[in-house]
Amino acid sequence: MSAVAVVGSVAFDDIETPAGRAAHVLGGSATHFAVAASYFCPVHLIAVVGDDFPADEREYLASRGIDLSGLEVRPGRTFRWSGRYHEDLNVRDTLALELNVFADFRPDVAAAVRRAPYVFLANIDPALQQGVLDQFERPVLVACDTMNHWIASAREPLEALLPRIDLLVVNDEEARLLSGERNVARAARRILDRGPRTVLIKRGEYGAILFSPESVFAVPAFPLEDVFDPTGAGDAFAGGMVGHLAATGDRTDAGLRRAIVYGSVLASYIVEDFGGRRLRTLTRDDIERRYRQFVALTEF
232 sits near ligand AMP (criterion: CB under 6 A): yes
Q: How many angstroms separate the CA atoms of 265 and 294, rounded?
A: 8
> Closer CB to ligand AMP, residue 67 or residue 174?
174
Q: Which of 263, 257, 264, 266 is nearest to 286 (CA)?
A: 266
| Cα-to-chain-centroid distance, residue 241 | 9
Cβ atoms of residues 34 and 101 within 8 Å: no
Q: Which of 4, 5, 29, 268 binds ligand AMP (CB under 6 A)?
A: 29
231 sits near ligand AMP (criterion: CB under 6 A): yes
Q: Measured between alpha carbons, how far is residue 208 from residues 119, 261, 275 in Å?
A: 21, 10, 22
234 sits near ligand AMP (criterion: CB under 6 A): yes
CB of residue 281 vs ligand AMP: minimum separation in angstroms? Answer: 19
Q: Where do the DSSP E strands lie in 203-255?
A: 208-211, 216-219
Q: How many angstroms separate the CA atoms of 214 and 198, rounded?
A: 10
CB of residue 115 vs ligand AMP: minimum separation in angstroms? Answer: 26
Q: How many angstroms separate the CA atoms of 159 and 126, rounded?
A: 9
Cβ atoms of residues 257 and 214 within 8 Å: no
Q: Which of 35, 71, 124, 287 binds ligand AMP (CB under 6 A)?
A: 124
CB of residue 275 vs ligand AMP: minimum separation in angstroms? Answer: 8
Q: Which of 128, 161, 233, 266 binds ligand AMP (CB under 6 A)?
A: 233
Q: Mask of contacts with ligand AMP, 49-88, x by CB under 6 A?
A: --------------------------------x-------
CB of residue 87 vs ligand AMP: minimum separation in angstroms? Answer: 17
Cβ atoms of residues 167 and 191 within 8 Å: no
Helix (H), strand (E) at residue 7: strand 4-7
Total interface residues for ligand AMP by CB under 6 A: 17
Q: How many angstroms separate the CA atoms of 275 and 16, rounded?
A: 10
147 sits near ligand AMP (criterion: CB under 6 A): yes
279 sits near ligand AMP (criterion: CB under 6 A): no
Give the total residue count for the chain: 300
Q: Which of 27, 239, 240, 243 binds ligand AMP (CB under 6 A)?
A: 27
Q: Measured between alpha carbons, how far is residue 199 from residues 17, 179, 225 in Å?
A: 28, 12, 29
Q: Which of 17, 78, 123, 264 binds ligand AMP (CB under 6 A)?
A: 123
> Closer CB to ligand AMP, residue 29 or residue 268?
29
9 sits near ligand AMP (criterion: CB under 6 A): yes
Q: Is 67 helix (H, G, I), strand (E, B) or coil?
A: strand
Q: Which of 115, 149, 186, 197 binds ligand AMP (CB under 6 A)?
A: 149
DSSP 8-state code for residue 135? T
28 sits near ligand AMP (criterion: CB under 6 A): yes
Binding site for ligand AMP (CB under 6 A): 9, 11, 13, 27-29, 81, 97, 123-124, 147, 149, 231-235
